[in-house]
């Protein structure tokens, strides 16, 4: 027996998965976003440039594919923002802002745990080429309404932070480094490495002793330039104006190098340690990192489908999940009626009636049981007598009533 790869999963029931994707798609299109799709395979260089060489994703979690030529190094995409920006630049998009979304599998080689998979699925939305921070409040509000109204989630929190511009972060790194040096005897190995290589990431450490130190650490939002301070104030005020509940979380930095200014996460305590089910923020310099001479300020967010599924599972009864269409089940009583059964099933399908047909034989009782399990509206029994008289015995599975109907009148009868 060959089993699936650790950290991957088979979806044997896609009702909730599709509900999430379909609802979000419709919702985003209603907000004038356009759906796009980019390849799952991308050049490794794309993520080295965008995510940063010192991020965990690039150093440890890439599914790189060995090819003949070193310069052709490719990988399974670990996220979608860099690909979307690549597409924007590659096709010289002239729509400003470019509001797009996509969805699909992402890949990260990491230790599987609750809510964390090596192949996971995301819905990704981006608003490319706008410096207006009102779009930050717009995107956050849009997501908040999606979760609270369309998905009826109540038990979640919105955390936001402001990472300043590049110059602010450069200055802040010195301030933070001085602080970390003063408490370094209390920090774990990982934090000491991050302090040297990717200093803002120290805040992501789950170690409680480290977290204790970070409670009193300097806050980046307190160390931003006048312009950034104004933007940060405006984003918060607009959110308040729109009645979006949020908490400012000074240690929220997002793991990836390309983020600056607004950063946010939607979290739920029901998810355990991996509590975020949606995250995003601004990435005003990603275009430059990818080699563009012009910067295209942008922002975006991604929703983790598997994590949202965990949150929606208990709400299945109150969500408007799509109903299975009513189905007609054709039951031939013997081998002589199989062809006729297929003929009738074909006729019904051609007339827009959802139909199944039982071709394995068996007793009437066992076939009725099967039809009941399928959820049949009607069972259409075809025995020798029906075959000879050009009729079908129609059993209404809700009332139990049976009626003999001419085969030629069957479609009209079932549609009435
Ligand atoms: Zn600034
Ligand atoms: Zn630590």
* DSSP-assigned states of every residue in 341-360: HHHHHHHHHHTT--EEE--S
pLDDT value, residue 324: 82
Q: Could you say which ligand is closest to the alpha carbon of residue 212?
A: 2
Task: Provide the 8-state DSSP code for 203.
Answer: G
Give dist(CA 146, CA 302) in Å, integer.
13
Enter the tokens of residue 180.
């970390």
CA of 222 to the centre of ligand 2 (A): 23
Q: Which ligand is nearest to the CA of 204?
A: 2
CA of 162 to the centre of ligand 1 (A): 10
CA of 79 to the centre of ligand 1 (A): 27
Q: CB burial class (10 A; 0-12, 13-18, 19+) of residue 377?
A: middle
Distance from the alpha carbon of residue 91 to the mean position of ligand 2, in angstroms: 42
Count CB atoms within 10 A of the CB of residue 232: 22
User: Which ligand minimizes its atom distance to the CA of 211?
Assistant: 2
Q: CATH 3.40.50.800: which residues of the chain?
A: 327-415
Model-level pTM?
A: 0.90
**Distance in angstroms (rounded) separating the CA atoms of residues 111 and 123:** 22
User: For residue 246, what are its two tokens?
Assistant: 């949020």
Which residues hold their Cβ within 5 A of ligand 2, which is an ion? 188, 191, 205, 207, 210
Distance 187 CA to ligand 2 centre (A): 5
Q: Which residues contact 298 (CB under 8 A, 6 or more apart)?
A: 85, 97, 126, 127, 128, 129, 130, 282, 283, 284, 286, 287
**Relative to the alpha carbon of 168, which ligand is closest?**
1
Q: What are phi and psi of 75, to 5 degrees?
A: -150, 165
- Give dist(CA 225, CA 148) in Å, integer: 34
CA of 133 to the centre of ligand 1 (A): 13
3-state class (DSSP) for residue 333: coil
Tell me, in angstroms, the distance from the centre of ligand 2 to residue 197's CA. Answer: 14
- Where do you find CATH 3.30.930.10 in the chain? 15-165+224-315
Strands (DSSP E) contained in 163-259 are 247-248
- What pLDDT score does 114 carry? 67
C-alpha pair distances (Å), 286 with each of 48, 61, 166, 194: 12, 20, 12, 22
Measured in Å, residue 265 CA sits from the centre of ligand 2 at 21
Instruction: Give the CATH architecture of domain 15-165+224-315.
Output: 2-Layer Sandwich (3.30)
- Cα–ligand 2 centroid distance for 324 (angstroms): 50
Whole-number Å distance, alpha carbon 297 to ligand 1 midpoint, is: 14
Q: Under CATH, what is the fold of the domain 327-415? A: Rossmann fold (3.40.50)
* Ligand 2 center from residue 209 Cα (angstroms): 7
Cα 78 to middle of ligand 2, angstroms: 24
Burial label for 339, CB within 10 Å (0-12, 13-18, 19+), is exposed
Q: What is the pLDDT of residue 402?
A: 96
**What are the mean pLDDT values of the chain's consecutive 10-residue runs (416 residues total)?**
93 96 98 98 90 73 81 89 97 95 94 81 98 97 98 96 91 93 92 88 87 90 94 97 96 78 95 88 93 96 96 94 91 96 97 96 94 95 96 95 96 93
Distance CA 53, CA 170 (A): 17
Q: What is the pLDDT of residue 54?
A: 66
Helix (H) or strand (E) holding 29, with range, is: helix 15-30
DSSP reduced 3-state for 371:
helix
> How many Å lie between the centroid of ligand 1 and the Cα of residue 148?
32
- Residues 382, 392 contacting (CB under 8 angstroms): yes
Of the listed ligands, the closest to the CA of 284 is 1
Residue 56 CA to ligand 2 center (angstroms) comes to 14
Measure 195 CA to ligand 2 centroid, in angstroms: 10
User: How long is the chain?
Assistant: 416
CB 65 within 8 A of CB 76: yes
């Amino acid at each position: 027996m060959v089993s699936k790869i650790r950290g991957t999963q088979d979806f044997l029931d896609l009702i909730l998965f599709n509900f999430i994707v379909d609802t979000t798609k419709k919702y985003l299109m209603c907000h004038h976003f356009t759906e796009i799709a980019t390849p799952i395979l991308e050049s490794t260089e794309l993520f080295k440039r965008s995510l940063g060489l010192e991020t965990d994703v690039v150093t440890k979690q890439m599914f790189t594919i060995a090819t003949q030529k070193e310069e052709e190094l490719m990988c399974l995409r670990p996220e979608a923002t860099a690909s979307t920006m690549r597409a924007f630049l590659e096709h010289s998009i002239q729509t400003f802002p470019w509001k797009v979304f996509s969805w699909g599998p992402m890949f990260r080689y990491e230790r599987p745990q609750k809510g964390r998979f090596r192949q996971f699925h995301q819905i990704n939305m981006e608003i490319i080429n706008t410096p207006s921070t009102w779009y930050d409040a717009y995107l956050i509000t849009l997501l908040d309404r999606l979760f609270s109204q369309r998905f009826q989630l109540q038990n979640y929190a919105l955390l936001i932070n402001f990472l300043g511009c590049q110059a602010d972060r450069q200055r802040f790194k010195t301030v933070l480094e001085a602080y970390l040096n003063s408490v370094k005897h209390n920090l774990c190995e990982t934090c000491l490495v991050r302090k040297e290589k990717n200093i803002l990431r120290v805040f992501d450490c789950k170690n409680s002793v480290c977290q204790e130190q970070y409670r009193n650490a300097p806050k980046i939002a307190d160390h931003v330039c006048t312009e950034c301070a104004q933007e940060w104030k405006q984003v918060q005020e607009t959110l308040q104006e729109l009645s979006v509940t949020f908490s400012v979380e000074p240690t929220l930095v997002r793991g990836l190098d390309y983020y600056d200014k607004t950063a946010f996460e939607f979290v739920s305590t029901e998810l355990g340690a991996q509590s975020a089910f949606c995250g995003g923020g601004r990435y005003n310099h990603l275009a430059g990192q990818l080699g563009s001479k012009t910067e295209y300020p942008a922002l975006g967010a991604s929703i983790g489908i598997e994590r949202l599924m965990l949150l929606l599972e208990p709400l299945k009864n109150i969500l408007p999940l799509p109903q299975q269409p009513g189905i007609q089940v054709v039951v031939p009583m013997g081998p002589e009626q199989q062809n006729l059964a297929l003929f009738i099933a074909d006729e019904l399908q051609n007339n827009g009636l959802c139909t199944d047909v039982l071709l394995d034989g068996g007793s009437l009782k066992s076939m009725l049981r099967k039809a009941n399990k399928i959820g049949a509206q009607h069972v259409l029994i075809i025995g020798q007598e029906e075959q000879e008289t050009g009729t079908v015995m129609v059993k209404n599975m809700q009332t139990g009533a049976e009626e003999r109907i001419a085969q030629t009148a069957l479609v009209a009868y079932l549609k009435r």
